[in-house]
């Protein structure tokens, strides 16, 4: 996946786009996280990013970047379909890494703690914390 495509995905977007992305992310994040758990070694960071994106105290631009990358992550049909074992989440990883690198300082200890708790419950609860 090239940098231009990643840049397009990470554009914060309008308020309406952010609202739409947030709905999509809330509806599909945990199901996708379960599928990706073995493919994405930094799922704890992705989950902390999820909590950061949903936190109203997070700056709007940061929320937009996170929601863009998380919406791409939960999208069932993307650049490389997620059902392709070994490759399916590779484009998602590139997008998520770019987003997390850009906003890392906005992920708080509270976001990380919520992520750790949710990941511990990932196999038991259909929506561990959100």
Q: What is the pTM of this model?
A: 0.82
Q: Domain limits of the chain? A: 3-120
How many CB atoms within 10 Å of residue 56? 6
CA distances to 26, 36, 60, 126 from 30, in Å? 8, 10, 23, 7
Residue 90's pLDDT band (boundaries 50, 70, 90)? low
In terms of pLDDT, which residue wins out, 86 or 66?
Answer: 66
Q: Which of 108, 112, 9, 92 is nearest to 56 (CA)?
A: 108
Query: Which among 14-23, 65-74, 103-112 has the top mean pLDDT?
Result: 103-112
Residue 82's pLDDT band (boundaries 50, 70, 90)? very low
Do residues 101 and 52 make contact, with C-beta atoms less than 8 angstroms apart? no
In this prediction, residues 64-89 reach a mean pLDDT of 69
Q: Which of 29, 37, 23 is nearest to 126 (CA)?
A: 29
């Amino acid at each position: 996946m090239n940098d231009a495509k990643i840049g397009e995905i990470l554009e914060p977007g309008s308020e309406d786009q952010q609202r739409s992305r947030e709905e999509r992310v809330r509806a599909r994040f945990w199901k996708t996280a379960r599928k990706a758990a073995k493919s994405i070694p930094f799922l704890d960071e992705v989950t902390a990013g999820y909590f950061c994106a949903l936190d109203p105290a997070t700056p709007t631009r940061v929320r937009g970047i996170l929601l863009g990358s998380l919406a791409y992550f939960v999208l069932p049909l993307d650049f490389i379909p997620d059902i392709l074992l070994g490759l399916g989440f590779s484009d998602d990883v590139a997008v998520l890494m770019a987003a997390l690198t850009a906003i890392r300082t906005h992920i708080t200890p509270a976001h990380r703690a919520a992520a750790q708790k949710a990941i511990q419950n990932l196999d038991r609860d259909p929506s561990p914390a959100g």
